[in-house]
Amino acid sequence: METEDIVSCSNTDLLKSCGTFRVLVGVTGSVAALKLPLLVTQLLQLPGVDVRVVTTEHAKHFYNPAEVSVKIYSDKDEWELWTQRSDPVLHIELRRWADLLVIAPLDANTLGKITNGICDNLLTCVVRAWDISRPLLFCPAMNTAMWQHPITAQQVSRLKEYGYVEIPCISKKLVCGDEGKGAMAEVSSIVSIVKQYLLKTDESPQ
């Protein structure tokens, strides 16, 4: 981290980061956000990994923050942090901090927004400001009818054009009772893909 970054993020807990590979988890308003505590726990078991979470407001309906052992940032933090010109802008601090962003789950709404460059909350601002040379992984999760709508494939392929990596959804009985594709990939699959990026970083010359 550069000196100017240290100064600018001194008002956040990002300075306390102890890992060498920093994973930012984006979480959106899919029922699969129930798995956030498990995902964070498993990511923290990877050696040298530090984790922070950026949540949408709707995602908050699905998990208990007390079960998530890392800082969860939301829209309120962005606006509380910035009160005057010299203050840090949280979405920029987070994109600087993170070596990898994984959006799990990525719901249909945020998929549509980020595909179109909309940035109206903390998570979509981080994505809009993302350094596309760094990995961005996304894990779609939605009802089968939403998944099968032709706009989904168009939007997913647009994200892949930017070099973002899809961790494909899987088929199973969904919470709404429908059976078919649209469930978020298993947490173990997501963690093992993050691990591959961690190993690549370890192998690359410093």
Ligand X SMILES: Cc1cc2nc3c(=O)[nH]c(=O)nc-3n(C[C@H](O)[C@H](O)[C@H](O)COP(=O)(O)O)c2cc1C
- Residues in touch with ligand X (CB under 6 A): 28-32, 56, 58-59, 107-110, 141-142, 146
d(CA 49, CA 40): 10
Task: Provide the minimum distance between the beta carbon of 36 and ligand X in the complex, in angstroms, as a whole number.
Answer: 12
Phi/psi-derived region of residue 48, left when phi > 0, alpha when psi is between -120 and 50, beta in every other case: left
Task: Provide the minimum distance between the beta carbon of 150 and ligand X in the complex, in angstroms, as a whole number.
Answer: 16
CB atoms within 10 A of CB 45: 9
User: Which structure tokens are listed for 158?
Assistant: 């647009």
Tell me, yes or no, if 9 is annotated catalytic: no
Task: Provide the minimum distance between the beta carbon of 109 and ligand X in the complex, in angstroms, as a whole number.
Answer: 4
Q: Which residue is nearest to ligand X (CB)?
A: 29
- Find, among 187, 171, 17, 29, the residue nearest to 102 by Cα: 187
Nearer to ligand X, 46 or 183 (CB): 183
Task: Provide the minimum distance between the beta carbon of 49 and ligand X in the complex, in angstroms, as a whole number.
Answer: 25
Please, are residues 21 and 198 in contact by the beta-carbon 8 Å criterion? Answer: yes
Nearer to ligand X, 8 or 155 (CB): 155
| Residues carrying an active site annotation | 176
